[in-house]
Structure 1
């Protein structure tokens, strides 16, 4: 019995020792004591032991497993006063509130040879390709994304009232789940598997939710809201940025170095400021916080967190961004969008092949809007907060009451000049038009949409010119087949006015505003019947074939009308193509959107006049081609060019020849893209030509004066043309261009915004005409222009 007692005592002794030795599980969060916003990547130390240190994640949360009791915790963070607190017995959930530091660090110049941070950055640069996730041969991952929009300041009475109506909900909430696969160097395909948007049943824009920051922080330039910022870990960065080693601590068998960065004084470039957490394991970035050094109307902060996967790669684990509208100018109401992307199920070095990738880079799964609660619970990294749950409940109710889905359907077609309604789309570009021949035109245009027929569109327009007192009208039918192939076939008829010498190889959608149309005054009246066929073939190539018959009546106000300006019939077969290598296409479920390409885009058009076919009176061959590209040059800015050429093998009526490349109008002094700003609209006539348009946008690199940061844009344009036979065109008030036409110009853009991030840009430019076709008087060679840009630039 005594032995049994000893055995039991020994058993309970071991049991109690096991209980005592069990590790303590501590969790918590570090937040800003004033705003209550989480502080990402703060350092948390337990029992004042530097070996017992952890770092908060991108949401300010931390977890620690201790082998003995925890009595104290301390936290430090750049820009905040360090704190220390007692941990009570049994306390396992901590919340640390840190106060922003009021102490300002003095500017101190440290020679590069004495700066320890520079030595670390050099090692980061040396290992840059090794650690760049987009240098991995192939990978696949799943991403859960969430965007929350709300008003952070509540000083105004109407804002307080709005928040009261929302009952604690946010303004907007969007979630999505996507799967992406990648093959080096730049083959990428992402599918949105699920999406949910407050207030909407059928959202189509979730594909754009994660596109506000780069996938990794290893690119030479970090593009944020269309502004290219010099990456602090790019070549030559030590002469551009000041790095400061703020702290270092052990993490496992490695060391993490906390390095702050900001542009050096008097360095004129688009720079960032923030902190880098460098892990000595391959000297890789473990965490990044970055924001534009120059603040403006729109402010943006990004946070990135990386994890070591497969024992050899650092891969993004979480990507956050915060966008603030109204961050300057004394605004008391800031609209804030916060986006988070959680990346998991990462697979690397997969045996992927190019043939597994389609021509759509980003697309919506047909069932993305139909996912159930179980699906979302499986992919969410954290439960929705109380305010987020209320957001779905409240905003969904408001959206149903005010028909948000119908409103979205209307707005998504606006860039192409249409407003969507339940069964049809109003083409408001046909409602009010102007040119210098017919003056103002009042009209109406409408097309059926997918609510009537899924694959067939019926539509037309009618208009009346207030100066020429003539009606214009037309109609068309379009069948849309395979969406991935952009297959369309259609027929149209119109009795309308068209400007002479319109490029036939432009396959882009109509735009909302084209100020060039307002300048036109040489127009043909065209009664035309046309058959069209469009499709994609060879992945990046768009094709457009057309057969048309037209009765054309020139409407030129000339003193001596001769044969080229009399009515004629033209039957024409045309083939047009557009080739855009590696163009990033997004398919929203209703339409394709192009996000551009870094490579040149080629255009080619061939037209054949069919004499005797459907009463056609012309036989000719006409060829036009163009190539254009935009690319960013480090520390210099963005260069764009366009080269175009054309050839026709016989004399044709004036409206089918090459003219109209001029963009100078005293009545409408507006910059017209891909036109010559000092050349009269129809000054030259050619049957062969070559044009070069080149533009370099220095951005704000050359001039920054406080909040005044205009973009400096330099233009250089050249043109050559020739005319085999001029006799048929006497009286057309045009001349030959068999010498080189030259002009240069300086444009100031972004004049009314206080930084590069702006929703609209207004600018002005001055252009100078020189060379063989310069006018005798200096003033006659100068053109002043206004420029408008309605996009982030």
Structure 2
């Protein structure tokens, strides 16, 4: 009897607890999408049983998961700019799809109420706490990140064409994945290593997608850069005078409240602004979620989404980063391309000991073997399994890539960036093959060097060419050996019978450019027969060095009289030892496309060159010391634009021939009227001669901050250039074929540059902009006539808007 009573008690207890146990297992999952586009809607809010405190938001992919200990009979889903959806919850609670319809009334208008706008009060607190919430203000952190980028075509015509050819049915046109590990030590020491990379169509990709390719790591910097345009962050100081904030919704998460605030630029405020949503958590008034897109659209539309998580250490840290880039009329009008990137951050460690001395020179580098990871590795690191469209993409594009040698095309791109074109075992040097200047005319010839397909560490090659105007051949050969790729340590031998412009800088760190109009207008040259030995290397992390020993027999291609010599053309031998240094503190270097690429220079860059003339050594005619230095920097100021300055100076202590002195700093030419940076726009190329000088070139680009009228948005730049020089050691009489001046008074010029006065659509991805600049010469060397002091020049630029 007692046993029977005990069983009845347990049975009664089970009957009482069963509903609780049953309802405790209620698990509701699904996805919120745009009804028209089928795209997921990140951070949509869902409340259950009409109880605001029983609510969640979707993640960055529009997914949601809700566990309840109470019965759930209905849900309400809302998202700013969309119509609310209310629906019953039946027995089917898994994989629910909620499709929201876009509303014509995208954002609620501000309702004027007594007192301060409540959204402004919240944003004021966010701004006050932004430094504490910025993850890059932590003493250190590390994390792992999985990145996935897909490319898809928009427009039925292109899709039908692809499917008709059976190229990519139900797949992407391109896809890439990567796994990275990042370490960071405050204030700005960062290293990210690519552990694995996989790109459709390529066996050995030399590039990788990263979490910060198209957006910043966090949404706390004053300026948010998108495609080389700096947008004002809505939570930067002073943003309350620039943006309109509207409180759209109030959500609840455990003990905290989440405010959903929309933002967009205030009317008649002239700045580069964003629009989107901020989800502000009252726990530290931090950003929990954010969406952002440029308020003014261009040919390329970009939107970003970020999701943060509150860590056990008590900090808000990025968890998911997402971007979508749309080219609405590329590759042809009526069609487009969509690029979507998703990054998932895990294995976060905060304020753990990290030795920044162990960081490599590169801020981002690819680990050896990163492209050879097997399917088991990828299955373990992916946050979500590949979808059928992803699998199709790899299968089809890999086959096409192998058939069409995509890896060979990648090699071509890597070479083209450096100004070379690979042809089997040789690289054709464009800079030695396509040459034009006013002295030679066109140089018909060829420059070719061996590449890694023949020798891994050795480069052997040369050039030759014939001037169509001076009717002379030029040629040369060189041998270079790479001792250490990590330290950029090379040694080389060179011989050339060539021409060099008089007064050239002797720095050994040229920046490659496919065109340099300053070289085009060059007209005064020396002929040299030179043998040289050079070694270059990187030392002290941010410093590059170049040491050279040169022996050159020089024949000026102009006539003048040098003291104590035959008054005919003066020939001489210059034997010299040169040491060049480039110091770029904290420069950000990325290892990509088979080379090191500088992507950011946060501090001024210093160039110093010292040349010692070795008179009496290997027939050298002159003992002298020659020092040159340059400091240059470009920086952005919030609400003000980009500023650039370049200060340069030179000093020579002994009398030297004309070709070894300083000249060539002007760029005014009647035939080539374009703005050439870091030169005097109103000065002719060889107008002044110096053995010591100081120049300062400054430019401030307001961008479109000063004037906007619809699509007419000229960019305004102000130039101010100052120069001084002297010729203390004159060792030659007046030249017979040309005159020169000494600028021992201040040379001054000011210019106004207007870019984008005219814009032309370029491949439906941006605009070619054409503009003009006017420069005026004044100071100690101004002419009497106003027109003689004025120089009008043209500009050409590219922009996405």
Match of 2:378 in 1: 376
How many angstroms apart in 2 are the aligned matches of 1:791 and 1:729? 51
Is the deviation greater in 578-587 or in 550-559?
550-559
Contact 1:58 1:318 in 2 (8 A): yes
1:162 deviation in Å? Answer: 7.3
How many angstroms apart in 1 are the aligned matches of 2:287 and 2:469? 66
Match of 2:746 in 1: 740
Match of 2:301 in 1: 299
Contact 1:565 1:653 in 2 (8 A): no
- Verify: 1:697 aligned to 2:704, yes or no: no
Q: State which of 780, 783, 787 in structure 2 corresponds to 1:772.
A: 780
How many angstroms apart in 1 are the aligned matches of 2:141 and 2:198? 26
Match of 1:143 in 2: 145
1:554-601 deviation per Cα after TM superposition (whole angstroms, max 9, x unaligned)? 113779998595221111100000000001111237321111221111
How many angstroms apart in 1 are the aligned matches of 2:115 and 2:573? 78
How many angstroms apart in 2 are the aligned matches of 1:111 and 1:585? 52
- Verify: 1:783 aligned to 2:777, yes or no: no
CA 1:438–1:789 in structure 2 vs 1: closer, same or farther (change >3 Å)? same
CA 1:324–1:550 in structure 2 vs 1: closer, same or farther (change >3 Å)? same
Match of 2:610 in 1: 606
CA 1:244–1:331 in structure 2 vs 1: closer, same or farther (change >3 Å)? farther
Is the deviation greater in 187-196 or in 721-730?
721-730
How many angstroms apart in 1 are the aligned matches of 2:105 and 2:270? 27
Q: State which of 682, 686, 703 in structure 1 corresponds to 2:686.
A: 682
- Verify: 1:361 aligned to 2:338, yes or no: no
CA 1:83–1:330 in structure 2 vs 1: closer, same or farther (change >3 Å)? farther
TM-score, normalised relative to structure 2: 0.95
How many angstroms apart in 1 are the aligned matches of 2:165 and 2:620? 68
How many angstroms apart in 2 are the aligned matches of 1:546 and 1:206? 37
Q: State which of 110, 114, 117 in structure 2 corresponds to 1:115.
A: 117
- Verify: 1:718 aligned to 2:732, yes or no: no
1:297 deviation in Å? Answer: 1.0
The 5 A counterparts of 1:137-286 are 137-155=139-157, 159=161, 164-206=166-208, 210-286=212-288
Match of 1:7 in 2: 7
How many angstroms apart in 2 are the aligned matches of 1:327 and 1:309? 42
Number of corresponding residues = 793
> SS at 2:401's partner residue?
helix
The 5 A counterparts of 1:289-438 are 289-326=291-328, 331-438=333-440
1:77-98 deviation per Cα after TM superposition (whole angstroms, max 9, x unaligned)? 1111111112221332210000
TM-score, normalised relative to structure 1: 0.96
Question: Which structure 1 segments of 5+ residues have no match?
Answer: none
CA 1:64–1:721 in structure 2 vs 1: closer, same or farther (change >3 Å)? same
CA 1:565–1:578 in structure 2 vs 1: closer, same or farther (change >3 Å)? farther
How many angstroms apart in 2 are the aligned matches of 1:195 and 1:522? 51
Match of 1:569 in 2: 573
1:209 deviation in Å? Answer: 6.8
Match of 2:556 in 1: 554
CA 1:83–1:365 in structure 2 vs 1: closer, same or farther (change >3 Å)? same
Q: State which of 660, 664, 667 in structure 1 corresponds to 2:671.
A: 667
Contact 2:46 2:75 in 1 (8 A): yes
The 5 A counterparts of 1:390-539 are 390-539=392-541
How many angstroms apart in 2 are the aligned matches of 1:613 and 1:4? 116
Q: State which of 702, 706, 709 in structure 1 corresponds to 2:710.
A: 706
Is the deviation greater in 203-212 or in 402-411?
203-212
Contact 1:709 1:755 in 2 (8 A): no
Contact 2:81 2:107 in 1 (8 A): no
CA 1:729–1:8 in structure 2 vs 1: closer, same or farther (change >3 Å)? farther
Question: Which structure 2 segments of 5+ residues have no match?
Answer: none
